Structure 1
Amino acid sequence: MDTRKLGEGLEVSALGLGCMSVSGAYGPKLSQEDCNALLRGAYERGITFFDTAEIYGPFIGEEMVGAALAPIRKHVTIATKFGFRTGGKAEPGKPIQGFDSRPEHISEVCHASLARLGTDCIDLLYQHRVDPEVPIEDVAGTVRDLIAEGKVRHFGMSEAPADLIRRAHAVQPVAAVQSEYSLWTRDVEDTVLPTLRELGIGLVPYSPLGRGFLTGNVKPGELAGDDWRSNMPRFKGEAGAHNLRLVEALQALAVRKGVTAAQLALAWVMHQGDDIVPIPSTRRIERLEENIAGAAITLSPSDLAEIEQVMPAREVQGGRYA
């Protein structure tokens, strides 16, 4: 697989793997054996960029990813995140109780993540969400100190606005910003993406397939009760039915081009710039292979125009979160 450069010299595979689903976000968590097969299978197919977070599980996700990647650790890039507070003792199943990017908490999370991942350095450490109670300069300064200590290699931010990215970058250069970006979520194009390109920061889109909706395989009203997408406005009621019609038009276009809707949607994201590295999540090797094939598709300007014509972002209904 080709590689792409984010910021600060961070070079990764052109397609990454989001690992949120291995710990149970979209149904039951995988067994460690299945997680090993998925992540090592991704590596064997050229993916070297793996994304997790302390709150996936919580905590279970980092443990599973660390164990799966242990035999190939020196060949891969691992990203994880801090920024939330869980209730009571740090153990799986504890609910999120708000933001927490206090410097002392960042340090605690970093050391705990290192232990769970079974590594001595985190390649890319993101602030998972902006904490309105903590100045972003304090956050960036804390990560700068962790980088100086050799505990972290690169600093990242997630779902951050342009002004805060700029302020953080002035304290500690930001290598990557992770935000939701896909055919049906294009907010970052307004101010965030131009700022990233001005500052030389890469974009890491999560949910480039619309949490599976853009594949056409996820239907409104058919999600299991333990699947958190069932509460998202875009997946429910009239909004879900309307959005499904847009996806069906995308599927029809994909059929005419001899690919799947997922491949067309992912190829569209890949064509938005060489500084963009999507991290679609999956639990199955066959979907992983489908995504890898989609990342290799070449689209012409007319192809891109056709895709946006059948899936115009302004017509998507429903919010991203409940």
Structure 2
Amino acid sequence: MGLLIGPELSAIETEIARELDSPVELIREMGGFIAGAGGKRLRPILLLMAGRLAGYSGPRAVHLGCVVELLHTATLIHDDVVDQAPLRRGRPSANARWGDDASVLVGDHLYSKSFALMVRDGDPAVLDTLAHATVSMTEAEVFQLERKRTGTTTEADYLRIITQKTASFISACCRIGALLGGAAGARLEALTRYGLDIGIAFQLADDSLDFVADEARLGKAIGADLKEGKRTLPLIAALERAAPAERQRIQVVLTSRAPLPAEVEEIRRLVVKYEGVDYALQRAQAYAQTAKEDLGPFEDCEDKETLALIADFVVGRDR
């Protein structure tokens, strides 16, 4: 994949660095820190590859790849404030280093910057796609908070949250690539569905890693979701299978304001014991397989094969 889109990814990194520059010192300082944290760049990669499969590899893909990464970064900064996360990608989070107030404001700045760049691109279809995705994401964030406060999250609730919060944005990235290539009808919808299915698979795998990954490679503390009281699918599955006393114990820890490390480890072991991680990963693999099947309207080629490999990667990764 590096040979296919390596130059475009390098160009995106250059544009991200340029757009993070600012006459305001704090924006410039935080921007440099954020850019230096790296990341998988999954969303720009999918935009580029969807564009290639649809027949486009021009400069707009680089510009819009920068847009989606800035928008994604804004959501991560805000997520870390909401979750009070101390780490992001193995380093102190922006809120841990600069505080919640600065992080919220810089997140707002990046969000605004991304939409200014979209306006510069000038394509109403792209604007419409990302506007719908961001509305979906923010609605899901509030719904997730609502479910956390009630103390009940069903599997259906969870799937709604990750579909709207993670998958809708990844789907939008793929749809933008398809639009750049002039895809319409079945081909446009195929890449849109591919993005949605791969996004669900990605989040299922990501939530599973919170219970079993190597902390140094993952870049955040194991059990972070548990500490924040989040009910992800591995935990939901374990709650359904656990004995009544164990279920009650899990609920007590989840509602604790500051669970002890030993308590978090106790719950993590119960989730593994009741095969909650295995269940979530099986669901992730099924969505990844569906994503590959979504590409059916396209003829076999290197770009299609790469997108299929990305589907395998998102469920087989260890960070």
**TM-score above 0.5, yes or no:** no
Larger helix share, 1 or 2? 2
* TM-score normalised by structure 2 residue count: 0.31
Please identify the structure whose Cα radius of gyration is greater. 2
Query: Which structure: greater strand fraction?
Result: 1
